[in-house]
Amino acid sequence: MIKTITFDFGGVLYRYDGEILLKALSGGSDIGVEDFRNLMAGSSLDRAHFRGELKASELLEILREEVGLSLTEEELAEVYSDSVKPNEKMFDLVRALEGDYNLQLYSDTPEILYEKVIKKMPIIDAFSAVTLSFEVGELKDSPHGYREVIEKSSHSPEEIIFIDDREKYVEKAKELGINGIQFTEFEELINQLESHGVRLDGKLDFDQGGEG
């Protein structure tokens, strides 16, 4: 029986547009979008920032020296905020599940995005536990965070569902015995939850249109 349902942030609870982030960063630097994309892909800076090894101020200083990036910490926070948009359907789902299931949040995120957006989410109060990469010190390609999810839930892995938009993280959760669901569309997610025995008991309006 499912007792804990754990949600990813970017790509699930919020839609994420990496191009907005890249364009804003490159616009504040001496290089173009593609060069900035290649810089981040070819370095460990982004991963170190998300693991909490680099503070926002330290990341900005490195990028200022390397590519002339002129953003302040507040401007960087705004850029992160602009790159994510709330998925209102998922908010409705969280509220429908609240009370009947233990809900958790597990996300790869830098501290600056947590402070600017995640901790201020209108549904943040629904989660009994929040596990974040910058606090764990590892990204979701490591098993460490999933073990924290299990420990914080006080439930066995087979009693937990983890929802993520990226298949590789769903598979990583499954390696630890957690039930994994890859989020693609809202209606399909509902079907997947029901196939795991999750009950909504008419709490959700299934006639909502548009993309999930």
Give the pLDDT score at 208: 45
Give the pLDDT score at 80: 93
Give the pLDDT score at 73: 95
Give the pLDDT score at 201: 80
pTM comes to: 0.92
**Which pair of tokens denotes residue 42?**
């070819």
Enumerate domains of the chain plus CATH numbers. 4-15+85-195 (3.40.50.1000), 18-82 (1.10.150)
Give the pLDDT score at 210: 43
Give the pLDDT score at 15: 95
User: Could you tell me the sign of the dihedral formed by the alpha carbons of 20, 21, 22, 23, in that order?
Assistant: positive
| One-character DSSP codes across the chain | ---EEEE-TBTTTEEE-HHHHHHHHHHTSSS-HHHHHHHHHTSSHHHHHHTTSS-HHHHHHHHHHHH-----HHHHHHHHHHTEEE-HHHHHHHHHHBTTBEEEEEE---HHHHHHTGGG-TTGGG-SEEEEHHHHTS-TTSSHHHHHHHHHHTS-GGGEEEEESSHHHHHHHHHTT-EEEE-S-HHHHHHHHHHTT---TT-S-TT--S--
Mean pLDDT by 10 residues, the chain (212 residues): 98 94 91 89 88 95 94 94 96 96 97 96 98 97 97 98 98 98 96 95 62 43
* Parallel, antiparallel or unpaired: strands 84-86 and 14-16: antiparallel
